[in-house]
Amino acid sequence: MGFKFEIVKANRISQNIVEQIRSAILEGELKIGDQLPSEKDFSKHFGVSKSSLREAYRVLEAYGLLEIRQGMTGGAFIKEVDLSTVKDSLVNYFFFQNPGLREYTQIRTFLEPQVVRICAEIITDKDIEYLENNILAMEEEPEGETFMSDLDSAFHKKLVDITDNKIISLVVESVQKALINIKRIVHTDQDFLKMVCNGHRKIVSALKAHDPEQASHAMIDHINEVEKGMMASKGGTMIITEKGLLKKNRTSQ
């Protein structure tokens, strides 16, 4: 018998509701800001208990599709999925995949040089001003571990935002975020900071000259230098959650 049957899973009630609502959103029936009925009304409508409906709401909330507010004017509202939801999902995924520094560096060297190529063509004076201020702030930081990371992220984020490509922004920012977690423990001394500032200066200088080729090279050099700097002080991959928790992961795959 060459038939291929699909496995039938006894669907949970809450899962069924989740799918119905998610479909309604993806089909456009439910728009951002739309309010779903109250727990009481909606559970009655579905003919299920309040607990089942609540579980469905929790899941949709976890997906970032729903915002639930308490109080008289509260309720369940359709929400646009925000970046942090996707990033968290990526962080969870990367935690188990546990990519090496090489993998992060590689995708950066694929994307960011191209990003600054585009930037070189279309960057405005205002953008350049922002980037220069960012470098100044970084140089003035004395031993600014955390702050330096924020400024570093902001620098790269600014560049990718100029390209106006949401997908690339998401990827670059997520990689940046994952890298910060590694950087934070691995290395943050003055030499490292000076090296980063130097790299950023060269990139901005090329952008100012509207020279794509030079900008691209400056970016490649910068990314490779950063990797080298991080390799110098070895260490396992670390992940810092939103709540500031640390995790040293040395699983040998």
Taking residues 13 to 42 in sequence order and writing x for each that binds a copy of itself by CB under 8 A, - otherwise, the string is -x----x--xx-xxxx---x----------
Residue 39 touching DNA (CB under 7 A): yes
CB of 84 to DNA, least distance (A): 19
Assign 34 to helix, strand or coil.
coil
- How many angstroms separate the CA atoms of 210 and 102, rounded? 30
Is 114 among the residues that bind a copy of itself (CB under 8 A)?
yes
Number of residues that bind a copy of itself (CB under 8 A): 58
User: What's the rounded Cα separation, in Å, for the pair 108 and 118?
Assistant: 15
The residues pairing with 78 across neighbouring beta strands, listed in sequence order, are 66
Task: Judge contact between 248 and 238, C-beta under 8 A.
Answer: yes
Q: Which residues make Cβ contacts (< 8 Å) with residue 248, sequence separation at least 6?
A: 185, 235, 236, 237, 238
Binding partner at 232 among a copy of itself, DNA, none, C-beta below 5 to 8 Å by kind: none
Out of 13, 48, 86, 137, the only residue in the binding site for a copy of itself (CB under 8 A) is 86
Q: Which residue has the tokens 């994307």?
A: 111
Residue 137 found at the interface with a copy of itself (CB under 8 A): no
Query: For residue 200, what are the contacts with CB-CB under 8 A and spacing of at least 6?
Result: 131, 134, 135, 138, 155, 222
Query: What is the C-alpha separation between 150 and 36, in angstroms, rounded?
Result: 38
4 binds, among DNA, a copy of itself, none (CB under 5 to 8 A by kind): none
Rule CB under 8 A: which residues touch a copy of itself? 14, 19, 22-23, 25-28, 32, 51, 54-55, 58-59, 61-65, 80-81, 83, 85-86, 88-90, 92-97, 99, 102-104, 106-107, 110-111, 114, 163, 165-168, 170-171, 175, 239, 241, 243, 245-249
Rule CB under 7 A: which residues touch DNA? 10, 12-14, 38-40, 47-52, 54-55, 57, 68-76
